[in-house]
Amino acid sequence: MKVLLIDDHTLFRSGLRELLTRRGIEVLAAEGTGEEGIQRAQSLQPDVILLDLRMPELDGLTVLRRIVAMDLGIPVVILTTSREETDLVESLRNGAQGYLLKDMEPDELVGALGDVIGGKTVVAPDMAGLLARMVKGDEPEEPGRSPFSILTHREREILCHLAAGQSNKVIAKELEISDGTVKLHVKSILRKLEVHSRVEAAVIAVEHGLCQKIDGP
């Protein structure tokens, strides 16, 4: 596993680099500014990028947007001290494939990075409940009405795979359809559910127990 670190705190950056190296992870570079990190992402092509949110000049969200816009195919994981709900949601909406907290256990961080490289989206356990509450909202659901009623059976099936954290490639293989077909279904799911990310859609599915309801034809 090859990792790029982008964090403006020198001590944290140095300590994390050593921690990951001891666990057999190759840290290609550890940059202290967003601009340097963006340049390194393009030239080094790491397997995953660990990005801080609170940085001077270019903040983490700006760096995230620019890396995503470059279409490098490199997953970006936010690693931060922020437990603010707006930071979590904005990170995921802007293309982050993970949102983790700096106080997590080292082995949990390594495991999460492995999940991200495997195609999953990871959210710190402490933040998952917050995300679920935000996605669910405060308005009561109309009696007898399901948010999934406008989805086709195939879309509900794919949404269940998303809730399991599977990537488009894995879903395509399991359902014996093309990656492109899965991508089109995912776009349709997000539009119909009026959400902005796969994670938000997955949380809705879990909250409503969708995957327990679609075993039949």
pLDDT digits (tens, 9 = 90+) for 40-57: 999 999 999 999 999 988
CATH architecture for residues 136-212? Orthogonal Bundle (1.10)
Give per-residue pLDDT as tens, 131-147. Answer: 655 554 444 444 445 66
Domain boundaries, the chain: 2-127, 136-212
CATH 3.40.50.2300 fits 2-127, yes or no: yes
Residues 191-210, mean pLDDT to the nearest whole number: 79
Give the model's confidence band at 216: pLDDT under 50 very low, under 70 low, under 90 confident, else very high.
very low
For the chain, give the secondary structure using H, E and C.
CEEEEECCCHHHHHHHHHHHHHCCCEEEEEECCHHHHHHHHHHHCCCEEEECCCCCCCCHHHHHHHHHHCCCCCCEEEEECCCCHHHHHHHHHCCCCEEEECCCCHHHHHHHHHHHHCCCCEECHHHHHHHHHHHHCCCCCCCCCCCCCCCCHHHHHHHHHHHCCCCHHHHHHHHCCCHHHHHHHHHHHHHHHCCCCHHHHHHHHHHCCHHHCCCCC
pTM: 0.64
Range name among 1-5, 12-16, 77-81, 148-152 with the lowest pLDDT average: 148-152
